[in-house]
Amino acid sequence: MKARKLPLIYPTAGFAGLLFVLGAMWYAASSQNNTAVYLLLFALTAVFLVSIPHTLINLAGVTVTLESAQPTFVGQEVSLPLEVMNDSRATRHGIEVALPGSDGEHPRIDYIPARKAARVTLRFPARQRGEHNVGTLCLTSAYPLGFIRFLKKFASSRTYIVYPKPEGDVRLPSSFMHRREGNPLTEPGEGDDFAGLREYVHGESQRHIDWRAVARGQPLMTKQFAAEAEGVLYFDFFALRLVEVEEKLSQLTLWIIEAERARRPYGLRLPGNEIPPAIGQPHFHECLRTLSLFQVETPHTDPILSSVRRA
């Protein structure tokens, strides 16, 4: 990514302390005409001033690259994997990555040797469904003295997607669900006979994860049960007897996860959009993506993020 402008400079909390100490030294020196204190005052001032170009240079040649982010659900954490590259011929120290407007952790990279890269993950809570622009990424550094911080902005066109929060009735509707009337006839959804393992689907319930396999170092697997694999499901937006759109989307999301977990083909019908029944990861993600983008202008932009970019 290309840096937007010259790095911005702003004082840290320690700067106030430094100003106070310098003020105290100045007062002491001038009221007592104490030459040694003057020397101390000027030494501290000079050291602070000299640290400014050091901090600035600490960001020179450092760039950040975003990698594609995994989709996530509202209420979970967005993790943006990114690579901070040091193209310079010197080691860079104490670089923090921040995403303005997100209140997550700021990963701090203690050091990157010359021409090496560090991988970090930016994590913050997903608040709203939809496709979000990452917008501006910031690299900041206060090294070596920490009294001022330089901030370099990187514009990114990368987006990440947040699926609606899976919520509602866990029981899958019957395959006749597309009929408008009647209670959703449910079926157990889970049998008692163990039928094998399959890969864990992101977002689904963790109840059936084979934790013993995880403990052995294997990837996340879900136990499948015999009764699951039967019937085609059709999830209909109009058939839901819920009031709020978001509630409906949450219910549909939950069902999609459950259906995928149960390995039963499922279709989705939304106002103006219909996805024929199928099964598998691409279908799963297509459905969830359709749900997350439902009735929002794409790509969705956080008001906070856009304000930062205007600034």
Partner 1 sequence: MSTSMSKSGSMRDRSIPRRPLLWLAAALLFTLPPMFGSLVRWVPYVFLLALAMKFWMEPRGYRLRFATLKLILAAMGLFAIFASYGSLKGVEPGISLLVVLVSLKVLEAHTAREFQVMVLMGWVLCLCGFFLSQDFVIALSLLTAFALLLVALIQFYRGSSPGAFWPPLGTTGKILVQAAPLVVLLFVLFPRINTGLRVDFRANRLANPGFSDRLSPGSIAALANSSEIAFRAEFPGSTVTPPGSLYWRGAVMWNCDGLEWRAPYVPVSISSRGQSSSNNTIRQRITLAPHGARWMFALDRPSEIPPGAILARGDYLWSIQTIRKARRYEVVSSLGPARKELTPGERREALELPPSISPAVRELAQSWTTQNSNPRAIVNSALQFFRTGFRYSLTPGEYRKNDLEQFLFHRRVGFCEHYAASFATLMRLAGVPARVVVGYLGGEYNDLGHFFLVRQADTHAWCEVWLPDSGWTRVDPTTAVAPGRASLDLHSFLERGIASGQMEARRSGFLTQLARSRLFTNARLALETLSYEWDTRVLAFDADVQEVLLDSMGLANRGTFVLIIEILIVAIALLVTYFGWMQLRTRSRADRVKTSYERFCRKAARLGARRDPWEGPSDFSRRAALLLPDQSERIRQISDIYIALRYAAEPASVAVALDGFAKEVRAFGRYR
Write out the residues near partner 1 by the rule CB under 8 A: 13-14, 17-18, 20-21, 24-25, 27-40, 42-47, 49-54, 56-57, 60-61, 87-91, 93-94, 96, 98, 103, 105-120, 140, 142-146
The nearest distance, CB 126 to partner 1, in angstroms, is 18
Asked if the bond preceding 144 is cis, omega within 30° of 0, the reply is yes
Amino acid identity for residue 260 in this structure: E
The nearest distance, CB 156 to partner 1, in angstroms, is 18
Cβ proximity to partner 1, 49 vs 215, nearer residue: 49
* Terminal-to-terminal C-alpha distance of the chain: 19
Cβ proximity to partner 1, 69 vs 118, nearer residue: 118
In 3D space, the residue among 10, 309, 6 whose CA is nearest the CA of residue 137 turns out to be 309
Cβ proximity to partner 1, 7 vs 135, nearer residue: 7
Cα distance between residue 118 and residue 83, in whole Å: 6
The nearest distance, CB 11 to partner 1, in angstroms, is 13
DSSP label at 90? S
The nearest distance, CB 255 to partner 1, in angstroms, is 35
Q: Return the ∠ at Cα 231 (arms to 229 and 235), rounded to 5°.
A: 110
Q: 62 Cβ partners below 8 Å, 6+ apart?
A: 84, 85, 86, 87, 88, 92, 95, 112, 139, 152
The nearest distance, CB 31 to partner 1, in angstroms, is 5
DSSP label at 271? T
Helix (H) or strand (E) holding 260: helix 245-261
**What is the gyration radius of the CA atoms in the chain, in angstroms?**
27
Cβ proximity to partner 1, 147 vs 160, nearer residue: 147
Cβ proximity to partner 1, 17 vs 182, nearer residue: 17
The nearest distance, CB 307 to partner 1, in angstroms, is 18
Cβ proximity to partner 1, 43 vs 226, nearer residue: 43
The nearest distance, CB 19 to partner 1, in angstroms, is 10
User: Which is it for strands 233-236 and 266-270: parallel, antiparallel or unpaired?
Assistant: parallel
**Tokens (6 digits) for 201:** 């689907």
* Alpha-carbon distances, residue 54 vs 14, 44, 85, 117, 145 (angstroms): 17, 15, 19, 20, 9
Cβ proximity to partner 1, 20 vs 211, nearer residue: 20
